[in-house]
Chain A
């Protein structure tokens, strides 16, 4: 069964460093998402991406964050200058169709645990 994959599973970085989290969505999916979950808290939406552009983002997704689909298969989340408070589990998800009007199920990756020291 097709699945969303994410690499690395765990990333440790120093404050101020740039990190890139990678995701490979399910191949025929068109909508891509990033979520984060700070330890002990609920999952929060960061950004949705369709047709090579951001379609919606949350207030968390500030100028420090960017997303890209560099090669038609990978979907990346970049954090430019990490802060301690960026430590969290980051989940990628994908769905086959648009999120507005007709609603399609999202499939989640296993997550990348980011630790900023």
Chain B
């Protein structure tokens, strides 16, 4: 069983739509990363959070430690948001990130 599960695997939206990507994990963690991977392959860190909510521009990330669940929201989506969004967790007592399989988002104009 994967320690980090993301849903959906693929998501297609129209420009302007509100997007939600979900991440559930089954292990104790010290923090959670949301990452963005563009078609060229490079990985960019969007958020790191261990509680509550963070906002950066049109992106909002929330985490519920008790329910072992996090969500990434994109408001007013744009075609340039098209990418793979990856959830990764720091395991408690470990130094490694464990990654989900990613959610491929396509935003059509």
Contacts and interface: CB of A to CB of B under 8 A. Distances in A.
A105 interface: yes
Interface residues of B, number: 25
Q: Kindly state the interface size class of chain A when it binds its partner.
A: 20 to 34
Contacts, number: 68
B101 A108 contact: no
B44 A44 contact: no
A113 B41 contact: yes
Contacts of B101: 41-42
A91 interface: yes
Nearest to B92: A100
A111 B86 CA distance: 16
B95 A99 contact: yes
A54 to B, nearest CB: 10
Nearest to B29: A103
Given A42-B100, A108-B43, A111-B41, A103 B86 contact: no
Interface in B50-95: 50, 86, 88, 90, 93-95
A43 interface: yes
Nearest to A55: B95
A43 B98 CA distance: 8
A95 to B, nearest CB: 9
Interface of B: 30-31, 33, 35, 40-45, 48, 50, 86, 88, 90, 93-102
